[in-house]
Structure 1
Amino acid sequence: MQSIFISGGASGIGKAVAQRFLDEGWLVGAYDIIPATFDHKNLVTGTLDVRDADNWERALADFAAHTGGHIDVVDNNAGIIVQGPLQDESPESLKRIIDVNVLGVTLGAHAAHRYLKGGGHLLSMCSASAIYGQPGITAYSATKFYVKGLTEALNLEWKKDRIRVVDLMPLWAKTPLAANDAASIRRLGVKITAEQVADVVWDAVNPSNFYERGKVHYGVSPEDKVLGALGSLAPTRLGRLVNRFIAG
């Protein structure tokens, strides 16, 4: 039975990913700072504070005890948001978002390597806000640029270990994370469901052909795919203009 470990797996996108892979017959580990409350014969649950290296070691070892030692996919899904002008945020809230979204993702990758080596996937939840920095969610956007860079570097670094490293870069999905007043939500709306994101997670770790296997960053909706293409091809001035309009 193939296996996937999901951080932040108790709710939102993480829960939707867990359900999608359970439906496909996988063994699923849904770990979160608050234990998951849903149940399934192929579901393993536990607690995980992604900011703590020992937590990561314990959680992955716990799940690997059910898989025979190897894990096919580690989904670095856990993340939080801080919204508002940077100067209005407390140092404590800024430290927390960096600890969860940057340190947490990095510690997850570090701890996951031994379980993925020899043929596995590391998938991290990035964001369309990593295409061009977004005012109003500045710290969140900056952490997602880090995730994007980490993904690209590890995609090359871990190739020799037969670990494929990818990320998802969607616009806002209908989860509690989108319950904020970011200008991009007012401009573009919240159209993506957690289930749609879960479908792309499935596709990303089950590439159907050589082209798909070469992808590193995955969009979800037509809008974020267009924005991603523009971000990679358009001059910086044009990207700034487009994002200035989106951020209103």
Structure 2
Amino acid sequence: MPSIFITGAAKGIGKAVAEKFLHEGWTVGAYDLAEIPYSHPRLISGFLDVTDPNSWEQALAHFASQTNGSIDVVDNNAGILIPGDIHTLDPHDIARQITVNCTGISLGAHAAHKYLAPGATLVTMGSASAIYGQPGIAVYSATKFFVTGFTEALNLEWRKKKIRVISLQPLWVKTSLAEVDTASVRRLGVRISPETIADTLYRAVHPRNRWQAGKIHYGVSITDKLFFCARRIAPIRLARLVTRIVSSEW
């Protein structure tokens, strides 16, 4: 029976991913700082602080003890967003976003490697805010650039062991992270459901052929896919202009 370990699984995207994979017959590990508020015969849950390496070791060992010592998918879903212009943020909130969103996935990859056999997949949660730096959420946006680079680096680093490393990079999703008053939320709206993210992740870890297996970054909606494609060919000045129109206050 295949297995998936999910961080930040108490609610939102993490909960939707857990429910999707449970529905598909997987053994699911749901871990979070908060208590997991749902249950299932194939659900294994527990505590995880993604900023603490010891917590990672304990949580992964706890789950792997129920899956014959290996894990098929590790979903680095946990992340936080604290909006505000950089000069208005509490320094603690700046550091916390970087620690959770960057250090957290790095510690997760470090701890998970020994449980991932050839053919396994590590998933990171990126964001369309990594297309071009976003005003009003600059720190969060920058952490998602880190996620992109980290994913690409590990995709090469773990290639010899045949472990896929991929990321999902959606626009705003209907979770608490999107309950912010920013220009991009007002102009683009919040149209992606956690269930859509879960469906995309499930398809991503089931590539149908070698070409699909080589894909690294996954968009979710038509809009974010178009933004990513356009950014790859657009001059930097044009990308800056479009980002200013979409995400800046006038």
Check whether TM > 0.5. yes
Verify: 1:99 aligned to 2:62, yes or no.
no
SS of structure 1 residue aligned to 2:66: helix
1:216 corresponds to which residue?
216
C-alpha displacement at 1:209, in angstroms?
1.8
In structure 1, what is the equivalent of residue 60 of structure 2? 60
Length, aligned pairs only? 248
Distance in 1 of aligned mates of 2:166 and 2:60: 19
The residue type paired with residue 97 of structure 1 is Q
Deviates more, 1:15-24 or 1:111-120: 111-120
TM-score (normalised: structure 1): 0.99
Q: Distance in 1 between matches of 2:13 and 2:208?
A: 23
Partner of 2:24: 24
- Which residue type is aligned with residue 203 of structure 1? R
CA distance in 2, matches of 1:185, 1:2: 37
Partner of 2:202: 202
- The answer to whether the Cα contact below 8 Å between 2:174 and 2:191 also exists between their aligned partners in 1 is yes
1:49 counterpart = 2:49: yes
Compared with structure 1, are the counterparts of its residues 210 and 118 closer, same or farther at alpha carbon in structure 2 (3 Å cutoff)? closer
1:163 is aligned to: 163
SS in 2 for 1:167: strand
- Letter aligned with residue 232 of structure 2: S
CA distance in 2, matches of 1:231, 1:71: 35
SS at match of 2:59: helix
Question: How many Å separate the matches in 2 of 1:182 and 1:211?
Answer: 37
Rounded Cα–Cα distance in structure 2 between residues aligned with 1:210 and 1:163: 14
Shift of 1:21: 0.2
In the TM superposition, residue 117 of structure 1 has moved relative to its aligned partner by 3.2
- Name the counterpart of 1:40: 40
User: Which residue does the alignment assign to 2:233?
Assistant: 233
Alpha-carbon distance between aligned partners in 1 of 2:238 and 2:104, rounded to the nearest angstrom: 33
User: Could you tell me whether the CA contact under 8 Å between 2:72 and 2:117 is conserved in 1?
Assistant: no
Show CA shifts across 1:16-56 (max 9, x none). 00000000000000000012010000000000000000000
In structure 2, C-alpha distance between the alignment counterparts of 1:66 and 1:168, rounded to whole Å: 27
Identify the residue that residue 131 of structure 2 maps to in structure 1: 131
Q: By how many angstroms is 1:152 displaced?
A: 0.3
| Contiguous gaps of at least 5 residues in structure 2 | none
In structure 2, the residue matched to 1:184 is 184
2-structure distance, mates of 1:246, 1:210 = 36
Q: Please state whether the residue corresponding to 1:45 is helix, strand or coil.
A: strand
SS at match of 2:25: coil
Secondary structure class of the residue paired with 1:81:
coil
Within 1, Cα distance between the matches of 2:242 and 2:179? 23
Aligned 1:112-127 pairs, distance under 5 A: 112-127=112-127
2:143 alignment partner in structure 1: 143
**TM-score between both structures, scaled by the size of structure 2:** 0.98
Secondary structure of 1:172's counterpart equals coil
Q: Deviations over 1:76-104 (max 9, x none)?
A: 00000010100110111111111100110
Distance, in Å, in 2 between the alignment partners of 1:205 and 1:197 is 13
1:210 deviates by: 2.1
Report the AA paired with residue 64 of structure 1.
A
Q: Mean alpha-carbon deviation: is it higher for 238-247 or for 52-61?
A: 238-247
Distance 1:212 1:184 in 2: 31
Say which SS state the counterpart of residue 65 (structure 2) adopts: helix
Q: Which residue of structure 2 aligns with residue 5 of structure 1?
A: 5
